[in-house]
Structure 1
Amino acid sequence: MFKKLLISSAILLLSACSSSPDWDYDQSIEFANYKTFAWAPNAALKASKTDYQINDLMEKRVRTAIKQSLSTQGMRMVEADTADVLVNYHASVESKIESSTLNTHYGVRWNYWGWGMQSQTTAKEYDVGTLVIDVIDNASQQLIWRGAKEGRLRSKQTPEQRTASINKTVGDILQNFPPKVQY
């Protein structure tokens, strides 16, 4: 149950302390030929019906953000059997540890002479969530583009904050789809 809660938190809270997105794509593909998209048959966030926060509301937020971003880029959503590309997405959560050390030095005090050093190290565990979006050529069923973004997770967000977080994360990931030609 704890792992499922962590995974659900990843989707909800990716925008906090987020990193730059990462992309990879097939350089032999002419992306300008792709005009339509549909959802891949296995595109879903739900791992099981018992997940607390991965639910139909979050699923809808992710799909809406992807659809809006691709539509803004001139792509049109159609039925899967006629789509040029299929879109898949998934998320993961990884726990990390952050440590910090505070060093203090002391010297002369009233009725006490001495020199010393004291160190105090603290560790804090935090979760990093990653959202991955895949684009698959429908004719060949081959992965042609992948984008991902990870970020430190925050909790206790309102529905509006969750929507804004997902919209920003998806927009950041898809800002390089179709890929910009590098010279």
Structure 2
Amino acid sequence: MKHLKFFSVTAIAALLFTSCASVAHVERDETVNFSKYKTFAWVDTKEKKDEQKGSDLLEKNIIQAVNGELQKEGWQESKTKPDILLSYDVLVEKAVKEDRNPVYSRSYTRSFYNPYTGRWATILYPSQFLGYDSRAYEVREGTVTISMIDARTDKTIWQGWTTDVVNSRNLTNKEIQSSVKSIFRKFDVAKN
């Protein structure tokens, strides 16, 4: 009985933790064998630096999060002759979300006198579905994209991205960590 309780509590906790994460999407080259890759390095382009002035902290947080996830898989960062080149992209934009809530009429009762029986009777009229109440509002959505490029062939072999609602113009460290973890949950190297 103790094992059953422990298992059910563990299953509920796991369900709660996975339901809080954002949904990640992955595209990969099916012809590539990921077991041959063990080292990586980050691509440093001048265009990215010009676009993202003042976001050194954002870049540092993303690089640390991705490095941590890849090191869990046994990969090492290498400045000389890496197998994989990594790049990232962050986009924060306004979007419109819509809430749709069902609307029901109020239930009510009606009393009437029945002259044949000489009694008062009460009839309940239940609520009825009337439609939906829609409300649109603006939110900020942040999208984090991680790309892996084969260093020898210069082809993109894996790309993962996730989009989630953010509270500010920039992503916080907690939002970055959550996004990167969501993306790398689908990094199924072991299946090769």
- Same fold, TM exceeding 0.5? yes
Aligned counterparts of 2:150 and 2:60: Cα–Cα separation in 1: 23
Query: 2:55 matched to which residue of 1?
Result: 55
The aligned length equals: 155
The answer to whether 1:162 aligns with 2:172 is yes
RCO comparison, higher one (Cα < 8 Å, 6+): 1
Question: Structure 1 residues 181, 85: closer, same or farther in 2, change over 3 A?
Answer: same
Question: Structure 1 residues 30, 92: closer, same or farther in 2, change over 3 A?
Answer: same
Question: Structure 1 residues 61, 106: closer, same or farther in 2, change over 3 A?
Answer: same
* Cα deviation code 1:57-116 (max 9, x no counterpart): 11111111111111121111111x5000000100223412314356464698xxxxxxxx
Return the match for 2:184 from 157, 174, 183.
174
Equivalent position SS for 2:45: coil
The percentage of counterpart residues that share the same residue type is 26
Q: 8 Å contact 1:128–1:151 — kept in the other structure? A: yes
Question: Structure 1 residues 123, 82: closer, same or farther in 2, change over 3 A?
Answer: same
Question: Structure 1 residues 124, 21: closer, same or farther in 2, change over 3 A?
Answer: same
Question: Structure 1 residues 178, 85: closer, same or farther in 2, change over 3 A?
Answer: farther
Query: 2:65 matched to which residue of 1?
Result: 65
The answer to whether 1:40 aligns with 2:43 is yes
Between Structure 1 and Structure 2, the one with more strand by share is: 2
Pairwise CA distance, 1:139:
0.2
One-letter identity of the residue aligned with 2:163: E
- The within-5 A match list for 1:1-183 is 18-42=21-45, 44=48, 47-49=51-53, 55-79=55-79, 81-94=80-93, 95-100=95-100, 103=103, 105=105, 121-155=134-168, 162-181=172-191
Instruction: Quote the RMSD (CA, aligned, Å).
Output: 3.5
Aligned counterparts of 1:107 and 1:177: Cα–Cα separation in 2: 52
Equivalent position SS for 1:82: coil
Aligned counterparts of 2:185 and 2:38: Cα–Cα separation in 1: 16
Q: 8 Å contact 1:18–1:152 — kept in the other structure? A: no
Aligned counterparts of 2:104 and 2:179: Cα–Cα separation in 1: 41
Question: Structure 1 residues 132, 45: closer, same or farther in 2, change over 3 A?
Answer: farther
Question: Structure 1 residues 97, 46: closer, same or farther in 2, change over 3 A?
Answer: farther
TM-score under structure 1 normalisation? 0.68
Gaps in structure 1 of 5+ consecutive residues: 1-16, 109-116
One-letter identity of the residue aligned with 2:43: A
Structure with the greater alpha carbon radius of gyration:
2
Question: Structure 1 residues 19, 48: closer, same or farther in 2, change over 3 A?
Answer: closer
Aligned counterparts of 1:178 and 1:62: Cα–Cα separation in 2: 20
Aligned counterparts of 1:118 and 1:82: Cα–Cα separation in 2: 62
